[in-house]
Structure 1
Amino acid sequence: MIYSGGTIDNLTGNDIKETYEFLRKALGLVSTNDIYRGPSKYQDGILVYYNEVHGHLNNFSGQEMILKNGKEIYELKYSGGLIK
C-alpha cells in the first residue's frame, strides 16, 4: 500500500498529537470485511474520522479524513493491490 497526506493547515503540536492519537484509535477499529485502513466512520467527541475506499483487495484506492468541529484537519489518500 502507498499513501500520502497528513495534517492540514496550521495545527499546533498539541493538535497534531491529538489528531494522530485519534487516528490510531480509528485504525484500530478496522474490521475483517473492510481491511483498508480504518472503518467507514468513527466519532469520538468533536473528532470524526471518515474512510472511503473503492475497488477490491487486488486493486483499491481510498481517502480518509478527520474533521474537528466540522473542519477538515487531516487528509490521506492511499492505494494498493496484489502484486503478481
Structure 2
Amino acid sequence: MDFLIKAKRATYASRGDDASVTPLLEGSRQLEFREGHFLYRDIYFGMRFFAGQEVVYYKGNPIWSMCYSGGVEKDSDIEFARKVYAFLRKAMRNVDAENPFRGPEEYIEGDYVYRDSNEGGLDRFKGKETISFAGKVVYSLNYCGGFVR
C-alpha cells in the first residue's frame, strides 16, 4: 500500500504535531494526508503516554486501521521525551513496504536504538516498537490492526 507509506512519511514522521488539523475529538491531536480518493487520518491522545488510531479511507469508507498505545518511561521529563520523539520520527521516516506499520526493523543513531518486531501482514498484524538510549529501554509502544471488513 504505497499510499499508507506516503501518508505516514508526510504526517507525524516528517512534521510531528505540526501536521495537525482541527481534531474531530476533543482533547486529541489529528493528522491527515489526502491523495486522490484516499484519506489517512491519525488521531491520538496524550504525549508522554499516548493512545491512538490510524485509519485509511477510500472514497469515504474505512478500509484499514491500526490502534496503538505507548510512550516514554514514567520518570522521563518532557525535554527528554521530546528528544526521544524526535529520534522516533527519524526512524518512522524509514518505514518500508514489507512492514508499513511503524518504522524499520532497526534504526541506530548515536546512543539511540529503535527496534520494531511484528507478525502478520496488512490484513491482520500486531507488533511492538522500542527505543533504547545508552542501552536502557526508554520508550515502548504496542500496535495492532488490519483491513476493515
TM-score by length of 1: 0.96
Q: C-alpha separation between the residues in 2 aligned to 1:65 and 1:13?
A: 18
Secondary structure of 2:68's aligned partner = strand
Q: C-alpha separation between the residues in 2 aligned to 1:22 and 1:65?
A: 12
Task: Tell me if the contact between 1:9 and 1:73 (Cα under 8 Å) persists in the aligned partners.
Answer: no
Q: Where does the alignment leave 5 or more consecutive residues of structure 2 unmatched?
A: 1-65
The runs of at least 4 consecutive aligned structure 1 residues that moved more than 3 Å come to: none
Residue 9 of structure 1: CA displacement?
Answer: 3.2
1:27 aligns with 2:92: yes
Q: C-alpha separation between the residues in 1 aligned to 2:99 and 2:122?
A: 10
1:3 aligns with 2:68: yes
Q: How many residues align?
A: 84
Residue 32 of structure 1: CA displacement?
Answer: 1.5
TM-score by length of 2: 0.55
Q: Whose RCO is larger (CA < 8 A, sep 6+)?
A: 1
Identity level (%) = 38
Q: C-alpha separation between the residues in 1 aligned to 2:111 and 2:86?
A: 14
Q: State the AA in 2 paired with 1:6.
A: G
Report the counterpart of residue 127 of structure 2 in structure 1: 62
